[in-house]
Amino acid sequence: MLFRKTAIVLAFALGATIAVPGVAASAAPAGTATEQTSTHHAPASSPAAAGPADVADNPVIIVGGLSGFAFAYSPLAARLDADGFRPFIYELPGLGFGDIPTSARAFADYVDQVRATTGAARVDLVGHSEGGLVARYYLKRLGGTGAVGRYVSLGSPQHGTYVANIIAFLGLGSCAGVVACQQMAIGSDFLANLNAGDDTPGSVSYTTIRTWQDQLVRPVDNAALADGASNVLIQGWCPLRVVGHLGLALDGTTYTVIRQALRDESIHPNCWAV
């Protein structure tokens, strides 16, 4: 019985890795904490690749989701790199299974490292799934707004997901002890704290991206924010576009929204992007 419970919870948690085409679930590489949690892709050297002025001024930190190994976000980093951005990948400590505020405090240190390394006053954040919650906790509860210019979330359960609640409904207890899963359940104390007050503090530009086909964030509108955020539903622009929860980090149409948000452009997704 214990094995069965564990298998179901791991199926929920590890989906972000095993469902990514061409990416096998494997242990993170050995090394220092920084090596385990980050990957830096050098910016394009050609000025023409940078597009609008100052587009590459802010390094872009991709914040991985629950069980999201850093290499699973390499395709997104490569797209950003090709467009003149300076991407970094942050793999959540313990792959995000633990306490989200604790992950956010570790992330705050990482942001400081990136700023010190690059000399940038601010960074931009792109958080996938739980990564969006970690990044938003950093902004809202850890004073990170002064160090961030733009925040983009991809399928982040900003107001929780019934998928986390249903694990308890199936008789597996409170997420079988997975703390981050408990915190992403609708009505959790963590979300009540995170969502108290202004959703979009500071002068940060907030954008959320969600999809009707999200298998892990239900209802899908729980991935949106209030208080002036730009909330983009992929199918609101591209009704025939099929994008799952995991695909938000790989999908071409979604990437056009990410790029526009990071460039402070009007949002007009390219429905045919690959």
Domains and CATH numbers, the chain: 2-19+31-262 (3.40.50.1820)
Closest residue by Cα to residue 245 from 93, 138, 130:
130
Rg (CA), the chain: 17
What pLDDT is recorded for position 57?
87
Question: Is the CA virtual torsion 148, 232, 11, 40 positive or negative?
Answer: negative
* pTM of the entire predicted model: 0.82
Looking at residue 70, its pLDDT comes to 97
DSSP state of 22: T
Q: How far is CA 182 from the centre of its chain?
A: 18
| Local structure of 165: helix, strand or coil | helix
Helices (H), the chain: 2-13, 15-18, 33-37, 74-82, 100-118, 130-141, 162-167, 179-183, 189-194, 234-237, 252-262
Q: How far apart are CA 210 and CA 60, in angstroms?
A: 20
Note the pLDDT of residue 168. Answer: 63
* Tens-binned pLDDT, residue by residue, of the chain (274 aa): 433 344 334 344 434 333 333 222 222 322 233 333 344 433 322 233 333 435 558 999 999 999 999 999 999 999 999 999 999 999 999 999 999 999 999 999 999 999 999 999 999 999 999 999 999 999 999 999 999 999 999 999 999 999 888 766 665 567 878 999 999 999 999 999 999 999 999 999 999 999 999 999 999 999 999 999 999 999 999 999 999 999 999 999 999 999 999 999 999 999 999 9
